[in-house]
Chain A
Amino acid sequence: MFDKVYQSSVTMDDTPAIQTSDLTKLFGSLIAVDSINLEIKRGELFAFLGPNGAGKTTTINMLCCLLKPSGGSATIMGYDINQEPYQVKQIIGVSPQETTLSEHLNSMENLALVGHLHGVEQDKIYTWSKLMLDTMGLTDRAKDQVRKLSGGMKRRLSIAMALIHNPQIIFLDEPTLGLDPQARRAVWDYITRLKGNKTILLTTHYMEEADFLADRIGIIDDGRIAALGTSSELKTDAIDTHTMVIYAWNLTQKVILELRSRYEEVKISNGTMTISDKKLDFRDIIDRLHAAGSIVRSAYIREPTLEDVFLKITGKELRV
């Protein structure tokens, strides 16, 4: 039922779902968003990854026609955000960073309200609200005032409210902010169900979230897009060194010095050896350790993470 109702919004048009051209926002002398150029395809799940204050929410606010850009332009499904804000608002659904719900209305009433504001026909409101509650696992809490719901439930309801009118584009601003790992995983599952059916722009400062959910990722820092691509593209392009992690006993000073003479970086911490270099010879390292009398308990090549990519590109760690 969900797929039947909500699959229809991705059309086979070539127009990008979201397109920005030098999109800029200034707050006084502070450059919050600095000339962002972006093209998001229809049906794509695009993630903005960046620390707090990087400009993610400001960008979303401009695209949702809540903030007037200081410069540049943007279109949503071909509609100009400056010239046609009401057309834009017809086709988007937004789940803000805060769980912005009407606390004294119940889940059903919250959904129905947003549905009405988006112009959903009266006869569909009830059916679609029930469907969304079912999809988000909230059916048994339909009649509860939302102030009684847990943080995770509120977040799911918030996402449901962004979907109630079957929008073509969904903006999810930090959809799992403040949730425990279990609740976060549940929200990820719901978002995954939407993938391909909707164009989704998601902001997050959780790397694993962007890695798990996004088709493409834009790393944003100080208002600028520092890197853009799929998760593997970013890792491949940005990280040209490989890292091997070894847990071993009886590591001698001699073998450590020997490895340091052959590889770029060799670190020892709590019995764990980490070796990094552009070229790593897995067999050679293991053989040398065995020859030196070390007992290797485990060894593996560590995949680069988005954290490594972020560190490499921006020169700083991504702090939450």
Chain B
Amino acid sequence: MRFWQLFIRSLKETYRDPLALGFLLAFPLIFMLVFGAAFGSDTTPSYDIGIIDDDVTEVSQSFVDQAISEITIFELNVFDDIDTARDELKMGEISAYIVIPSGFSTQAAQIMQGMEGNIVLDITYDESEPMISEQIISSVNSATRYFAQIEIPVTINTNPINIGVNITQIDFISTGIIVFGLLIMIPTSGRIMLRDKESRFLYRMLTTPTKPWEYIAGYSLSMVLLATIQIFFFILLGWLFGMDIIGSLWLAFAVFLLTAICSIGIGMVVASLSKSENQGESLSWLFSMPLAILSGVWFSTEFMPPYMRTFADIFPFSHAVEASRAVITRGVGMEAISNDFIFLVGWAATVFIIGTMLFSRTMRS
């Protein structure tokens, strides 16, 4: 019964290693907690919707107040002109805008009097968010049909933004995949440093007059180079699979590079805090996988409860997804993503300062 003895030995090895056992149990638990908290609640998503009232009558105003405002998932923002609303949509400040056409009140009055009539509402939305746009259109459709307790025939004229560019699902998902690929650099960069730590090669290097920042720079530069190649290939493959890059490729590249630098920095912090390669790797995955879920890499964060979104926003990856998606699918420029960009720069700088400090501590521990 040799297999039985080997089986017993394996069991003992596992349960006598608290860390391994902890991760074994912690991983599914944490995943369930994160997924459950993110998608399991009855949280109603909320969308910022622009309203442009070209009719400017009491009827159109009451249509907004009594029909559109009643849609619980809408937060209304009134605009004077389409251009401003379009800019806001492009910048991601609103999810869609609805134009109430001039002549709306005349048409409504005719219908109320039993005459023939049709109201056409223009809804312009961000086509890169297909799930969201579908929900907005459906909500507007059902709410407007029973305005003033009368069934009004409303034709919804949908206008996806960036008309002329055929935005597909790959545009949405590619940016997420790229950020996810860069997020995986957390365990990768940590592993390189921990391997040197575990094989004691780091010990030898620490006997040389090299300064902590030089180690950090040396390790991270090679990782940045790898990240640059990785980003290049990701973009190339995305493009081959049909991803359209509407905005500046260089700006998108810069966002991705900053994301990679953040990941490398986090990996180094994890490596400095870990005692072994196994421990560091487990910690990295425990950290990076939930972050990937929360950052909107695969799913839109609009469906998550606000507190989860706030939590995700503490980390750089949700900002990276948002900024890169805005540049690639909506073609926005630096001014539209400056907040996210600055946040990424700040994160990259901070994590490297912390990494250097922790590494200095390692050097004398």
Contact = CB atoms under 8 A, between A and B. Distances in A.
B5 interface: no
A308 to B, nearest CB: 35
Contacts of A117: 205, 208-210
Interface string A74-95: 0000000000001001101110
Q: Is the interface of A mostly helix, strand, loop or mixed?
A: loop
A141 interface: no
Contacts of A86: 209, 211
Interface string A85-118: 0100110111010101111000000000010011
Contacts of A114: 204, 208
Interface in A33-70: 64-68
Contact of B208 (A68, A96, A103, A118): A118
B365 to A, nearest CB: 8
A90 B207 contact: no
Contacts of B209: 86, 89-90, 117-119
Nearest to B205: A117
Contacts of B199: 98, 100, 103
A102 B206 CA distance: 14
A94 B204 contact: yes
Nearest to B199: A100
A116 B118 CA distance: 80
Contacts of B210: 117
Nearest to A66: B206
Interface string B208-219: 111100000000
A161 interface: yes
Contacts of B232: none
A93 B208 CA distance: 8
A92 B207 contact: yes
A64 B207 contact: yes
B207 A101 contact: no
B200 A100 contact: yes
Interface residues of A, number: 22
A96 B203 contact: yes
Contacts of A100: 199-201, 203-204
A200 B205 CA distance: 19
Contacts of B211: 86
A86 B212 CA distance: 11
Contacts of A119: 209
B2 interface: no
Contacts of A94: 204, 207
A52 to B, nearest CB: 17
B12 interface: no
Contacts of A64: 207
B9 interface: no
Given A86-B209, A90-B209, A118-B208, A68 B364 contact: yes
Contact of B207 (A66, A68, A102): A66
A20 to B, nearest CB: 18
A117 B207 CA distance: 10
A83 to B, nearest CB: 13
A212 to B, nearest CB: 26
B197 to A, nearest CB: 11
A94 B204 CA distance: 7
Point out which of A64, A93, A96, A117 has the most chain B C-beta atoms below 10 A from its C-beta. A117
A238 B318 CA distance: 72
Nearest to A89: B209
A87 to B, nearest CB: 8
A90 B206 CA distance: 12
Nearest to A118: B208
Interface in B346-365: 363-364
Interface in B233-279: none
Contact of B201 (A93, A102, A118): A102
A68 B363 CA distance: 10
A158 B204 CA distance: 10
Interface in B77-107: none
B364 A98 contact: no
B77 to A, nearest CB: 58
B364 A96 contact: no
A63 B250 CA distance: 50
A118 B200 CA distance: 18
B206 A101 contact: no
A320 B207 CA distance: 27
B139 to A, nearest CB: 59
B208 A101 contact: no
Point out which of B209, B210, B364 has the most chain A C-beta atoms below 10 A from its C-beta. B209
A61 to B, nearest CB: 9
B206 to A, nearest CB: 6
Contact of A101 (B201, B363, B364): B201
Q: Which 4 A-B pairs have the closest CB atoms?
A: A117-B208, A89-B209, A94-B207, A100-B200
15 contacts: A65-B207, A66-B206, A66-B364, A89-B207, A93-B207, A94-B204, A96-B204, A96-B207, A98-B200, A100-B199, A100-B203, A100-B204, A103-B199, A114-B204, A161-B204
Given A89-B209, A98-B199, A100-B199, 17 more contacts: A64-B207, A65-B207, A66-B207, A67-B364, A89-B208, A90-B209, A93-B207, A94-B204, A96-B203, A96-B207, A100-B201, A100-B203, A101-B201, A117-B208, A117-B209, A118-B208, A118-B209
